Amino acid sequence: MNDIKDYVILNNDVKMPLLGFGTYNADDSNKLNNAIKKGIEIGYRHIDTASFYGNEEVIGSAIKESEISRKEIFLVDKVWNSEHGYEKTLKSFQESIKKLKTDYLDLYLIHWPQSLNKETWKALEKLYKEGYIRAIGVSNFTINHLQQLMENAEIIPAVNQIEFHPRLVQNDLMEFCEKYNIQMEAWSPLMRGLVFQIPFLKKLSRKYDKTISQIVLRWDLQMGVTTIPKSTTLSRIKENMDIFNFKISEEDMKNIEKLNDGFRMGMNPDEVFKCPEIIQR
């Protein structure tokens, strides 16, 4: 983990950059367009969006306007809850790639677990087999959701993108994903700014001469979790990528993990869609 070009190899041998560029809640289209182009210019190659975000067209335009080949960008999108079901998912995918001005995605995720998970996953498997998607995965899936999905799946998810930060570590889920070689990825890694209020992280910031953002993002990577911080401010975009020239000690890693108290910024996936527990074989 020495460079922004570093990557993880997914369970289907596709390479995914460790550090991504998040775009959730980026409402100013011009600002987002400029931020993405600047991010690409300084080295970002992993861009994350979702149909729910309403910014696919802006992202597609920014990538087109950049001087980087589409093949060098790892582009991630997600199918929204109202788009679940086999046919609806296929239709949603076509709408998304049209807006993104591309003919394929590098990673396509089920955004949240729903009652039609299995049908939606079959659609993703079809698109993957036909070469429209390089890797398929899920987002906000608990162990129960993953087990239920994998009961009938032909393809194991390559990625599970979840809320992950020092106050929500989810060790059991990490162990499950590691067992099945499912890469975990962190959304809201900086807790929408709340990490800046944690005294211990302020202490580490002084110790390592790094910002709290850099401490937390580096912690993600050393935990084996890829991460997608969001910012449209150039100084923050640069700051977030300056995490490859230091290492957090093992003791400090464990102490950051002790901040875990189950606090969530977003919805609890089990409250979005509760499925019965499946006894592991």
Per-residue pLDDT of the chain in tens (281 residues, 90 and over written 9): 789 999 999 999 999 999 999 999 887 899 999 999 999 999 999 999 999 999 999 999 999 999 899 999 999 999 999 999 999 999 999 999 999 999 999 999 999 999 999 999 999 999 999 999 999 999 999 999 999 999 999 999 999 999 999 999 999 999 999 999 999 999 999 999 999 999 999 999 999 999 999 999 999 999 999 999 999 999 999 999 999 999 999 999 999 999 999 999 999 998 888 876 654 43
Domain containing residue 88 = 7-275
CA-angle at 221, arms to 220 and 224, nearest 5°: 95
User: What are the catalytic residues?
Assistant: 53
**What pLDDT was estimated at residue 180?**
98
**Is 46 a known ligand-binding residue?**
no
Enter the tokens of residue 179.
């067992």
Number of domains within the chain: 1
Q: Is 108 helix (H, G, I), strand (E, B) or coil?
A: strand
**What pLDDT was estimated at residue 271?**
87
C-alpha 73/C-alpha 106 separation (Å) is 8
Asked if the structure places residue 281 within a domain, the reply is no
Structural contact between residues 278 and 148, judged by C-beta atoms closer than 8 angstroms: yes
C-alpha 247/C-alpha 244 separation (Å) is 8
Distances (CA, A) of 247 to 113, 169, 210, 222: 35, 19, 11, 8
141 Cβ partners below 8 Å, 6+ apart? Answer: 110, 113, 149, 157, 160, 162, 269
Structural contact between residues 138 and 110, judged by C-beta atoms closer than 8 angstroms: yes
Asked if the structure places residue 76 within a domain, the reply is yes
CATH label of the domain that carries residue 152: 3.20.20.100
Enter the tokens of residue 93.
């995918």
Asked if the structure places residue 36 within a domain, the reply is yes
Distances (CA, A) of 199 to 139, 203, 256: 30, 6, 11
Asked if the structure places residue 1 within a domain, the reply is no
Asked if the structure places residue 280 within a domain, the reply is no
Asked if the structure places residue 39 within a domain, the reply is yes
Enter the tokens of residue 207.
């110790």
Enter the tokens of residue 13.
């041998």
**What pLDDT was estimated at residue 16?**
99
